[in-house]
Chain A
């Protein structure tokens, strides 16, 4: 199932469908005379093409979901640019995302129980985006379009599913409805925030395979957000590792997991349960947890836990170093790009 396309740095070929440049997000916490700043995202840049899956992995609180929320424009970033087909949407658009933007960028949420309205039938919930975005005109055409969507995501027979309510469906079926709803507007980009983590294990692969098929058939670009490295390797063409609001390493997925360079990525991979290796064989070196993001200290956020920490790590955030085409990281152990 591997079709590897290590399209990495922007500007290499045509304009990518989505590009994010130096995205920064700070939240104000605490009131009073001296409010503090929580640095949720610091200097995040990447691009995403159509027909590819970019996996975004990291521990909780690393800024994965904030990235998705900024791109889908539920919040306004503190700084940086979001370019859709080469156009800076934060400049050209008003405060909120326009219909035209939503037609291109859609999102699938983690919780299939909370993201569907319990009061409306599946058919109704899928008709709404079709009507609002004018993907079909006339009652009959709209209904046909919804049947098509249901069949695409594997909810058969569509005529029956159309009249069901969310409570009648299992978690996996509900998540398929969420996928169908995102597909209704025929988007270019879908942001999938932990789409399988709330599902039963035996049906997870079904949903992941569906996303993969949509990428292949409909040429949709997916930003797949997860904390599960194995699934990122399974479906992601490329993988980006986030730590405390920074992207610390990026490479083609299999390359990254087979040959991690950043100490944090190495730690993360050593911690993934791997029954074929056994518990004692790979002892986790770094103890401790993710640092506080409120008024963080200067330097690399991983420095307090890093086994190879140097003086410079506590002073400045490292620049990007490219170790091979498409594989770059931010770590002082490597020589930065000129």
Chain B
């Protein structure tokens, strides 16, 4: 039931289940999620707030803490199981990594998870204001990242920091600044520079431009696009803004209430949305061009995941819900090559549209 890109994926998430334990029971935040990210690909996860996008990102980087609990599943980074790294020794981790990558100049003081995080997969958080330390100079924040991971001298680290600033188009004199002295767009570029510092193969970007104005947003995305071409990393791109997502990603997974309900190449999500939720989501964004037509959005609101609806989690809001099938939980199925949908009651119609 998974797509098979020609080469080995950088990231392969298989049947992931994550819960948050609360006083009132378990919040089933991520339910049976599977997807893959190919080398050099931008894979987008789109969905509304609370649908589990960020939980997935945090799981991949192993930064989830209790009360979050990874129930089941596998996350394979180039074939190495990220969820089993706790039990690995650094030696073992090195050996496994050596099989898929070249030698790395890693420090011996790290444990495998620490070594993996940032060296292999780094993250750009939503709010640059909160992800930079306000009382530490930009230079130290960049150099810390490098020095924590690699056996190199301070001078070398400083040179690398200057290089990184040049890569994201900021004058190197700004290295001596504190975060508050930079504009919002510059701060976000510094955060990207820090994410690039150790040349990871995958960058997780969780709403990287949501807090920015549209003009700056466009500028930053173009820059990320250029950097991606230059360094060849993959991106897991997370946002609720579907227009942005379609414009920026190669493939998209649409999430609703903790599940992926549709997965397809970006263009197809736009031109041939098959799941009723995706169709509804596309009618929630007015267009900047064309005739003004009345848009409806989707009636109702997302469910409480303490007690998610039985069967298909979207059924209480679905236009096509056929009461008979309500108890059956739909599985993601491939309807045309590369296009997956999880829907049972609307299936005939989906197959008909897909065949067109």
The residues of A with any CB-CB pair to B shorter than 8 Å are 1-2, 59-60, 170-173, 200-206, 209, 227, 229-231, 233-234, 254, 257-258, 267-279, 283-284, 286-287, 289-290
Over the window 185-223 of chain B, the binary record of Cβ atoms lying under 8 Å from chain A Cβ atoms (1 yes, 0 no) is: 100000000000000000000000000011111110110
User: Among B33-41, B92-100, B241-249, B332-340, which stretch is in contact with chain A?
Assistant: B241-249
16 contacts between A and B (CB under 8 A): A60-B213, A170-B301, A173-B301, A200-B302, A201-B281, A202-B280, A202-B301, A202-B302, A227-B213, A233-B286, A234-B286, A258-B289, A272-B214, A273-B244, A274-B287, A289-B183
Could you say which of B215, B240, B296, B299 has the most chain A C-beta atoms within 10 Å of its C-beta?
B215
* Complexed CA–CA distance, A273 and B214 (Å): 8
Could you say which of A2, A209, A234 has the most chain B C-beta atoms within 10 Å of its C-beta?
A234
Do B247 and A206 touch (CB < 8 A)?
Answer: no
Interface residues of B in 259-309 (CB under 8 A from A): 266, 270, 280-281, 283-289, 292-299, 301-302
Contact of B297 among A2, A173, A203, A268 (CB under 8 A): A203
* Complexed CA–CA distance, A272 and B283 (Å): 17
Q: Which A residues are CB-close (under 8 A) to B183?
A: 289
Expressed in whole angstroms, the minimum distance between the Cβ of B289 and any Cβ of chain A is 7
Q: Which B residues are CB-close (under 8 A) to A234?
A: 286, 292, 295
Do A201 and B301 touch (CB < 8 A)?
Answer: no
Q: Which A residues are CB-close (under 8 A) to B48?
A: 200-202
Do A279 and B285 touch (CB < 8 A)?
Answer: no
Do B288 and A202 touch (CB < 8 A)?
Answer: no
Expressed in whole angstroms, the minimum distance between the Cβ of A276 and any Cβ of chain B is 7
Q: Which B residues are CB-close (under 8 A) to A201?
A: 48, 240-242, 281, 284-285
Do B296 and A205 touch (CB < 8 A)?
Answer: yes
* Complexed CA–CA distance, A268 and B302 (Å): 32
Which residue of the partner chain B has the closest CB to A290?
Answer: B213
Which residue of the partner chain A has the closest CB to B217?
Answer: A271
* Complexed CA–CA distance, A269 and B293 (Å): 19
Expressed in whole angstroms, the minimum distance between the Cβ of A171 and any Cβ of chain B is 8
Q: Which A residues are CB-close (under 8 A) to B49?
A: 200
Do A233 and B281 touch (CB < 8 A)?
Answer: no
Known A-B contacts A59-B215, A202-B48; the reply to A231 vs B301 at CB < 8 A is no
Known A-B contacts A205-B284, A273-B241, A273-B243; the reply to A267 vs B213 at CB < 8 A is no
Q: Does B184 sit at the interface, judged by CB under 8 A?
A: yes
Over the window 297-324 of chain B, the binary record of Cβ atoms lying under 8 Å from chain A Cβ atoms (1 yes, 0 no) is: 1110110000000000000000000000
Q: Which A residues are CB-close (under 8 A) to B81?
A: none
Q: Which B residues are CB-close (under 8 A) to A267?
A: 215
Q: Does B156 sit at the interface, judged by CB under 8 A?
A: no
Q: Which A residues are CB-close (under 8 A) to B280?
A: 202
Number of interface residues of B (CB under 8 A): 44
Q: Which A residues are CB-close (under 8 A) to B302?
A: 170, 200, 202
Q: Which A residues are CB-close (under 8 A) to B244?
A: 273
Q: Which A residues are CB-close (under 8 A) to B294?
A: 1, 209
* Complexed CA–CA distance, A204 and B214 (Å): 19
Q: Which B residues are CB-close (under 8 A) to A258?
A: 289
Could you say which of A173, A200, A257, A270 has the most chain B C-beta atoms within 10 Å of its C-beta?
A200
Do A274 and B213 touch (CB < 8 A)?
Answer: no
* Complexed CA–CA distance, A289 and B170 (Å): 13
* Complexed CA–CA distance, A200 and B48 (Å): 6
The residues of B with any CB-CB pair to A shorter than 8 Å are 48-49, 183-185, 213-219, 221-222, 225, 240-244, 246-248, 266, 270, 280-281, 283-289, 292-299, 301-302
Q: Which A residues are CB-close (under 8 A) to B296?
A: 205-206, 209
Contact of A254 among B213, B292, B293 (CB under 8 A): B292
Do A257 and B295 touch (CB < 8 A)?
Answer: no
Known A-B contacts A234-B292, A273-B247, A274-B243; the reply to A287 vs B219 at CB < 8 A is yes
Expressed in whole angstroms, the minimum distance between the Cβ of A188 and any Cβ of chain B is 25
Expressed in whole angstroms, the minimum distance between the Cβ of A227 and any Cβ of chain B is 7
Known A-B contacts A202-B297, A289-B184; the reply to A230 vs B284 at CB < 8 A is no
Known A-B contacts A201-B285, A209-B294, A234-B292; the reply to A172 vs B214 at CB < 8 A is no
Q: Which B residues are CB-close (under 8 A) to A272?
A: 214, 243, 288
Which residue of the partner chain A has the closest CB to B297?
Answer: A205
Do A268 and B301 touch (CB < 8 A)?
Answer: no
Known A-B contacts A274-B247, A275-B270, A286-B215; the reply to A172 vs B301 at CB < 8 A is yes
Could you say which of B225, B240, B243, B270 has the most chain A C-beta atoms within 10 Å of its C-beta?
B243
Q: Which B residues are CB-close (under 8 A) to A277?
A: 247
Do B185 and A289 touch (CB < 8 A)?
Answer: yes
Q: Which A residues are CB-close (under 8 A) to B292?
A: 1-2, 233-234, 254
Which residue of the partner chain B has the closest CB to A212?
Answer: B294
* Complexed CA–CA distance, A159 and B243 (Å): 39
Do B215 and A274 touch (CB < 8 A)?
Answer: no
Q: Which A residues are CB-close (under 8 A) to B293?
A: 1
Do A269 and B288 touch (CB < 8 A)?
Answer: yes
Do B286 and A231 touch (CB < 8 A)?
Answer: yes
Expressed in whole angstroms, the minimum distance between the Cβ of A303 and any Cβ of chain B is 16
Contact of A257 among B185, B270, B288, B299 (CB under 8 A): B288
Known A-B contacts A203-B298, A273-B241; the reply to A279 vs B222 at CB < 8 A is yes
Which residue of the partner chain A has the closest CB to B211?
Answer: A60
* Complexed CA–CA distance, A170 and B294 (Å): 24
Which residue of the partner chain A has the closest CB to B287?
Answer: A230
Do B288 and A233 touch (CB < 8 A)?
Answer: yes
Contact of A205 among B215, B225, B246, B283 (CB under 8 A): B283
* Complexed CA–CA distance, A293 and B214 (Å): 19
* Complexed CA–CA distance, A277 and B240 (Å): 19
Expressed in whole angstroms, the minimum distance between the Cβ of B10 and any Cβ of chain A is 22
Which residue of the partner chain B has the closest CB to A2?
Answer: B292
Do B295 and A205 touch (CB < 8 A)?
Answer: yes
Q: Which A residues are CB-close (under 8 A) to B213?
A: 59-60, 227, 289-290
